[in-house]
């Protein structure tokens, strides 16, 4: 293929790709919405397939037993499907705050996000935290207000809640007609359409009955909705036109405005409108910042960044799958790529692509695609694979953990298995391992305490190692850095018993209380006490 033809194909493939993450507080309906989007894309053929496949594949895993018992997802999923000529890469993320570290890193690999809000509860705590992460990167966000078939807060209250809690403009694209038992459907504000609600539509991708109206004053509106509902709708639309924000694509793409859709994911209502608007307005793969320059997806040189590691997807082979976002150029099976951190070439002959919960070999991939690279520990989160030009992509964070446990090995003869298990499982980044500068205790740190249950269960199931994880007198840990080498050395000497190193060898310091942390920050202005570091 000529360079000109390759450039034209690269441009076409980039323009038709959409890579996004779904974010929400737990129980807002994120997994259900994901399922319906896959249903439209033909990646699954009946509602419930995601749960059925997940349960079947992991039925013998103690780790997934925890997942089923707690009723939550503990890891992100990557799903690829095609719809209306677009290639869609959908990244579903854990909603539970104890697994937010995984979610934060996934959001570095997407070009936009879809936020799900529960119409009964409105904006919740975890949604605010995830929004803060999106705002760090000015990620464009569309919003789906879910569960309109239940009695909840009024549409105006919900919009006000989003604007006040998340500091973002709301631009309604559809508007609900009634709510709960009185929910009749939605009014498509841009196309002057009424789409009627069908509570039996959950397993179908067929479009619901749509009635075209010629503006809100069309007299046929009363016939279709009833006089009272039509009058209420007219009043609400008038208020909206006076006080609401019209959709502005530039403000959406810059993260200043969120288009809002209303519906019921469990009944598959409002999902088609959301998906089609998303594909039309969401950004294609965008340039990404590297250490030396910005990398365009249209560059012919292949490059990609590892944003997630999953250990033991195949327990029999102790493999680790590195999830890699293709940033530029074309990936071909069997190609060589330079591993930036080691300077060595890697042969990428067995990469996989994710189709819902299944895996398949991939022959080629383009910017925006997510591919999995099986390896035995060579790749880490934050690693860049590229061509001849050395590149290192930025912006994949490690956050300082907030909870800590001492690792106590029940059988001392299994120290090697413990070391191997902790080394491999902490590569995933959800839990962090710290080794004290003095003493032999191993310290685990996590954003959420549920991570400790997960790692103990996985050590037992995957490495045959039983451990106790005991609480410790640590309130906080901070990575430390300084341009003043003398001050740094004095700090290390003075607080030797508080010094630790993380799994990558970065120095850090533990604190028994928030007061001690604040005092150290005050007493050592030459030293930076970091709550996050880039991988």
Q: Which residue has the tokens 């009014």?
A: 187
147 annotated to a ligand binding site: yes
Query: How many angstroms from the chain centroid is the CA of residue 321?
Result: 17
26 annotated to a ligand binding site: yes
315 annotated to a ligand binding site: no
441 annotated to a ligand binding site: no
Q: What are phi and psi of 162, to 5 degrees?
A: -65, -45
96 annotated to a ligand binding site: yes
140 annotated to a ligand binding site: no
- Rg over alpha carbons for the chain, rounded to the nearest Å, is 25
Query: How many other CB atoms sit within 10 Å of the CB of residue 276?
Result: 14
Distance CA 291, CA 421 (A): 32
- DSSP for 415-483 reads HHHHHHHHHHHHTTSSEEEEEESSS---EEEESSTHHHHHHHHHHHHHH---EEEEE-S--EEEEEEES
270 annotated to a ligand binding site: no
155 annotated to a ligand binding site: no
Residues in the chain: 535
- DSSP for 326-390 reads EEES-EETTEEEEETTTTEEEEE-S-EEEETTEEEE-SEE-TT-EEEEEESSS--TT-EEESSS-
The answer to whether 19 and 89 are in contact (CB under 8 A) is: yes
Distance CA 355, CA 367 (A): 17
Q: Which residue has the tokens 């707690």?
A: 70
Q: Which residue has the tokens 């105006």?
A: 156
Strands (E), 128-279: 141-146, 169-172, 174-177, 185-188, 193-196, 210-212, 257-262
Q: Which residue has the tokens 């860049």?
A: 384
Query: How many angstroms from the chain centroid is the CA of residue 498?
Result: 34
93 annotated to a ligand binding site: yes
Q: What are phi and psi of 531, to 5 degrees?
A: -85, -10
27 annotated to a ligand binding site: yes
95 annotated to a ligand binding site: yes
92 half-sphere exposure, CB direction, 13 A CA radius: 24
Distance CA 450, CA 173 (A): 38
488 half-sphere exposure, CB direction, 13 A CA radius: 12
148 annotated to a ligand binding site: yes
191 annotated to a ligand binding site: no
The answer to whether 384 and 392 are in contact (CB under 8 A) is: yes
275 half-sphere exposure, CB direction, 13 A CA radius: 27
Quick one: tokens of 532?
Answer: 């996050």
127 annotated to a ligand binding site: no
Distance CA 10, CA 327 (A): 12
The answer to whether 259 and 280 are in contact (CB under 8 A) is: no
Helix (H) or strand (E) holding 77: strand 77-83
Q: What are phi and psi of 203, to 5 degrees?
A: -105, 10
31 annotated to a ligand binding site: yes
In the annotated binding site for GTP, the residues are 24-31, 92-96, 146-149
In the annotated binding site, the residues are 24-31, 92-96, 146-149
């Amino acid at each position: 293929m000529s360079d000109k033809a390759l450039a034209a194909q690269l441009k076409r493939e980039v323009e038709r790709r959409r890579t996004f993450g779904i974010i929400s507080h737990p129980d807002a309906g994120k997994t259900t919405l994901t399922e319906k989007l896959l249903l439209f894309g033909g990646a699954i053929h009946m509602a419930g397939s995601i749960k059925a496949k997940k349960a079947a594949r992991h039925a013998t895993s103690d780790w997934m037993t925890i997942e089923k018992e707690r009723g939550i997802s503990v890891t992100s999923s990557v799903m690829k499907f095609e719809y209306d000529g677009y290639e869609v890469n959908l990244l579903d993320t854990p909603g539970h705050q104890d697994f937010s570290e995984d979610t934060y890193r996934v959001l570095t690999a997407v070009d936009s996000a879809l936020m799900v809000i529960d119409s009964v509860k409105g904006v919740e705590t975890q949604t605010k935290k995830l929004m803060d992460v999106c705002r760090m990167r000015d990620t464009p966000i569309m919003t789906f207000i879910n569960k309109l078939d239940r009695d909840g807060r009024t549409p105006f209250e919900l919009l006000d809640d989003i604007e006040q809690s998340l500091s973002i403009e709301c631009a309604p694209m559809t508007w609900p007609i009634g709510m709960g038992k009185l929910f009749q459907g939605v009014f498509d504000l841009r196309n002057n359409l009424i789409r009627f609600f069908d509570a039996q539509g959950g397993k179908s991708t067929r479009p619901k009955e749509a009635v075209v109206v010629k503006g809100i004053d069309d007299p046929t509106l009363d016939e279709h909705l009833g006089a009272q509902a039509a009058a209420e709708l007219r009043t609400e639309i008038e208020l909206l036109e006076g006080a609401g924000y019209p959709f502005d694509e530039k403000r959406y793409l810059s993260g200043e405005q969120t288009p809002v859709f209303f519906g019921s994911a469990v009944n598959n209502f409002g999902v088609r409108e959301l998906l089609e608007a998303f594909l039309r307005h969401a950004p294609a793969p965008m340039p990404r910042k590297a250490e030396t320059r910005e990398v365009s997806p249209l560059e012919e040189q292949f490059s990609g960044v590892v944003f997630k590691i999953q250990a033991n997807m195949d327990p029999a082979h102790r493999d680790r799958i590195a999830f890699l976002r293709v940033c530029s150029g074309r990936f071909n099976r069997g190609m060589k790529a330079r591993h930036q951190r080691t300077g060595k070439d890697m042969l990428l002959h067995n990469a996989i692509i994710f189709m819902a919960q299944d895996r398949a070999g991939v022959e080629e991939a383009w910017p925006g695609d997510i591919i999995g690279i099986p390896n035995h520990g060579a790749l880490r989160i934050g690693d860049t694979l590229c061509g001849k030009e050395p590149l290192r992509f930025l912006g994949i964070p490690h956050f300082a953990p907030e909870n800590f446990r001492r690792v106590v090995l029940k059988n001392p003869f299994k120290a090697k298995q413990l070391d191997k298990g902790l080394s491999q499982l902490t590569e995933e980044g959800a839990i962090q391992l710290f080794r004290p500068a003095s003493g032999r205790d191993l310290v685990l740190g996590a954003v959420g305490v549920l991570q400790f249950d997960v790692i103990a269960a996985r050590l037992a199931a995957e490495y045959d190692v039983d451990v106790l994880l005991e609480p410790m007198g640590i309130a906080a840990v901070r990575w430390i850095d300084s341009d003043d080498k003398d001050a740094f050395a004095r700090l290390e000497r003075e607080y030797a018993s508080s010094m630790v190193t993380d799994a990558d060898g970065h120095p850090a310091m533990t604190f028994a209380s928030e007061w001690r942390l604040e005092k150290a920050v005050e007493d050592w202005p030459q030293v930076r006490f970091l709550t996050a570091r880039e991988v």
